[in-house]
Amino acid sequence: MTTPETPESAPDRVRTVSVRGITARVSVRPGVGPFVNEPPLLLCNGIGVSFEVLQPLVDALDPRRGVVRFDVPGVGGSAPPPAPYPIAALASWVTRLMADLGHQRFDVLGLSWGGGLAQQLAVQSWRRVRRVVLVATGTGMLMVPAHPSVLMKMSTPRRHRDPAYAASIAGEIYGGTMRTDPEKGARLLHSVTRSGPRRGYYYQLGAMAGWSSLPFLRLLRQPTLVMGGDDDPIIPAANPRLQARLIPRARLHLYEGGHLDIVTEAETLVPVVEKFLLAPDHDL
C-alpha cells in the first residue's frame, strides 16, 4: 500500500481580518508534515515597515513550519487605530489576532521594535507563548542607548519614504554589511515594503514611551533565544547580554554583523533559530 507524500510546504496566504474593530493585513503559512500540529512562529517586525521585509527570513526557515506575519495597525496594509496605544494594549490585540486565526499557542520572534512587543507578549500572554526569540532588541527606555545621532535619525520615518536618504544613512544606523553596501538598506526598505500613514510610525514610537522590560525579565518562563550583532549601532551588544543574564531560561547568540542581519544574512542566522525552536524542552 502506498501512502501520500508529505507536502513540502504550504503557500502563504495574505488576507485582511478585523480584530477589535481594526482591519489588519496578515500573512499565514500553515504548518505541514511534522509541523502540522505544532505552534506556528509569529514574527513581530521592526518599526515602520510591512511584513514583506521579513521575506528573506521566512524563506530561510523550514518551509514546512507554520508562520504568521502581520502589519502593525497604522503600518503597511493595516488600518490605523483610532488613537495611540501602549505596548500592553497592542500585545493584547496580537494575542486576540492569533486566537482569531485559530492559534491558542505560538512561538514568537521579535526583531528590533518587534522584540519589545515579543517581550511584552511573553510576560502578558505567558500561557499562549511557548518559546521566544529576541533579535537585535533592547529593554525599552532602560537600556544602553544608541549614539544620539543614531537616535535622531530613528525618530522620524524619513528613511522609509526617501530611498536616497535611506542609502545615505544605512551604514551609520544599521552597521554590518550596510557599511560597505548602503544601497542594501535602501533596497530592503523600499523594494518590497510599504510604510502606511506617517502617524502609524509615530504611534509605534509612542507605544514604547515609558516602557521597559527590565522589571519583568526575570519573570519570563519561556525558553528564550537572545540574538544580537557586535556591530549594531541601534542596539549595542551590551543589551542582548543583559537580557540573556536576566531571563532565567535564556541562551545568548552574538554574531558578527549589524542590526538587520537576521534578514540580510538570513541563511547564516536562521539555522540558529531553527535549532532553538526544534530543541527538546529538557535541552533548554
Query: Is residue 112 annotated as a catalytic residue, yes or no?
Result: yes
- Residue 95 belongs to what H/E stretch? helix 87-100
Contact by Cβ (8 Å): 206, 90: no
> What would the DSSP string read from start to end of 212-271?
BSTTTGGG--S-EEEEEETT-SSS-THHHHHHHHHSTTEEEEEESS-TTHHHHTHHHHHH
Candidates 197, 172, 170; CA nearest to 186 is: 170
b vs e for 9-20, b when ≥16 Cβ sit within 10 Å of the residue's Cβ? bbebeeeeeebe
Out of 27, 50, 112, 125, the active site residue is: 112
Contact by Cβ (8 Å): 150, 178: no
Question: In sequence order, what E strands does the chain have?
Answer: 13-19, 22-29, 41-44, 67-70, 106-111, 129-135, 224-229, 250-255
Q: Which residue, chain included where needed, has cell 502589519?
A: 71
d(CA 104, CA 101): 9
Among all residues, which ones are annotated catalytic?
112
